[in-house]
Amino acid sequence: MIDMIAKEDPIISEEEAAQYDRQIRLWGLDAQKRLRGSRVLLVGLGGLGAEVAKNLILAGVKGLTLLDHEQVTEESCRAQFLVPVTAKGENRAQASLERAQYLNPMVEVRAQPERAEDQPDDFFLQYDAVCLTGCSRDLMVRVDQLCSKHNVKVFCGDVYGYYGYMFSDLGQEHSYIEEKPKVVKPSGDSNDEPAAKKSKIDPNETTMVKKTASFCSLKEALEVDWTSEKAKAGLKRTPVDYFLLHVLLKFRTDKGRDPDPQSSAGDSQLLAQIRDDVLESKGVSSDLLTDEFVSYCFSEMAPVCAVVGGVLGQEVVKALSQRDAPHRNFFFFDGRKGNGVVDFFGPQ
């Protein structure tokens, strides 16, 4: 597949230069041009999807397609700021379109009220990046495996109550530019000085450094062998959120939905049972996830959506603009503690 960013070679108009002035000052004109030539598919217009949509539209991508077959519910209106309260029963993507487009008329925003699972492979390959929220594990693995073969960047994310995560697969060799403090060598004859004094970092000057990062597939990231000696040794440093994600994805696979507050008693029991099954199958102790976790993973909480959506949107922007080091490859957020962690899972 032809690289769409290179093919389009977008031109920034005077109007766009004024609109994106602060961003151009931050990450440069070339990065903004790459963004301006990029088309993104966003699947899932729940609370997290709305945050990601807002961030990508304001950043100034060329086009954003909103794909969602779900209807607006009362919970949608609480967690999602793009849908009007009068839109209950309407399609979530279509109900989000007007407010999304209003954020930035320079971005082509369109809505498709269809199931992502029903789309043919070619549909996903139209885009420079695909961002999947609220999707099944099978769909995420399928789209990731497909897109990685065609140089399409893939992102996944979800929010479950107080917990949220994002995952990125930018391919085997993602190139980017990073701004680093410039190392200045002192003038004059410094041959007799110790090496530490021969050069120093000038905080007022920076230099641009080209770098690459390598990523693995979602399937590989989720199928780490925890019975190996190396994995066992690193278990104490592993965020428990990684195993919590497995539990929640298995719940979604088994039930076809996420934990529901209206059936909290039964769902809590099921979550605990899935926890036992998942951790046993991975050869790790069920003590890793204490019973209290079941109380904190119901519904999309708006503040958690804002944090995870901010990070996820930022990572898409960084990847498309090829500016700054990407998160490799998971970001986990725990709203109870108010902290996030980046960690890599997969073949080293």
pLDDT, tens digit, 9 for 90 and up, residues 160-205: 999 999 999 999 999 999 888 877 776 655 555 555 555 677 677 7
Which of 313, 343, 174 has the alpha carbon at shortest distance from 245? 343
Asked if CATH classification 3.40.605.10 holds for the domain at 4-172+302-338, the reply, yes or no, is no
pTM of the model: 0.89
Domain boundary assignment for the chain? 4-172+302-338, 174-210, 220-296
133 contacts 49 by C-beta, under 8 angstroms: yes
Residues facing 109 on adjacent strands: 64
Task: Calculate the CA dihedral of residues 114, 117, 119, 120 and round it to 10 degrees.
Answer: -170
Structure tokens, 252: 């979604």
**Strand-strand pairing, 330-334 and 200-213:** unpaired
pLDDT, tens digit, 9 for 90 and up, residues 289-340: 999 999 999 999 999 999 999 999 999 999 999 999 999 999 999 999 999 9
**Over residues 247-270, mean pLDDT:** 95
Q: What is the pLDDT of residue 142?
A: 98
Q: Which amino acid is it at 22?
A: R
Q: What are phi and psi of 201, to 5 degrees?
A: -90, 125
Q: Name 87's Cβ contacts closer than 8 Å, sequence gap at least 6.
A: 72, 77, 95
Whole-number Å distance between alpha carbons of 339 and 118: 37
